[in-house]
Structure 1
Amino acid sequence: MTGLDLQMARKVLDSQPFSGLVGARITAFGDGSATLEVDIRQELRQQNGFLHGGVLAYAADNSITFAAGTTLGPAVLTGGFSIQYIRPATGRTLIAQADVVHTGRRQAVVRCELFAAGEDGAKTLCAVAQGTVLSATPS
């Protein structure tokens, strides 16, 4: 138990200038999970009209790190992650749902599924990611 809650997670996200630029918001946080959302808008698209892969990678990385923070505490850093793109992201909203798979004393392994939600709310899986997050607290 880290003592962190959704309100604190939102403050942390709001303190990240890049997250503000992308327009990210955290909609769920706690018990080994975190969900980030980004509205899909023109400025975030690539040349074919799809959401840019870098935005998906950002959402995966940040949701993975927030999920790990629920088990490791607030001082965490991404150790590394990989992402597999399944299909182009189109629609209204990108949703990155991350869940801790394992937490040790100093690191956590986290999986993330990224969905594109349409105007009707239907979600389509567009990428999956997995990462390792490290505690930045000195032991």
Structure 2
Amino acid sequence: MRAREISTLALDSYQRAARVALSNHLVTTTYPDRIALPLLRRWATELREDLLELFGYRLEVTETTARLFPVIDALDDSQPARTSTDRIFDRRRYAYLALALAALGRAGNQITLSELADHVAAEASQVDGVELTTDRASDRDAFVD
């Protein structure tokens, strides 16, 4: 870890740069303030190595921006997305989610759950391999998830 090699006098500056990077995943010449980007650029090498080693985060620093990528780019099959009831998100649940988001984007300020289900069912019937029948309990459960 490169932070251990930083002198005591410069440690405060390094720690501020680390806080800025972790608090603001995108830093520009004006956001969050004018001194943030020069501070990150000063400690880019050390931060890049330490954030990767400690958290697996990737830090990219250019002349005009600094961006922290806190998510690993590769999918991990051992950690699937789960519902609030701890069910694994399958293809049907992802399809219902996408259709529900599309329906909500076209809806007004308010929509009832039954109206949303009707919209999703209508759209699902137009997609091969996806069907939502509100009378079937497994479809309702997947839609609610």
TM-score range, shorter chain: under 0.3
Q: Which has the higher strand share?
A: 1
TM-score (norm 1): 0.24
For CA contacts below 8 A with separation 6 or more, give which structure has more relative contact order: 1
Superposition TM-score, scaled by structure 2 size? 0.24
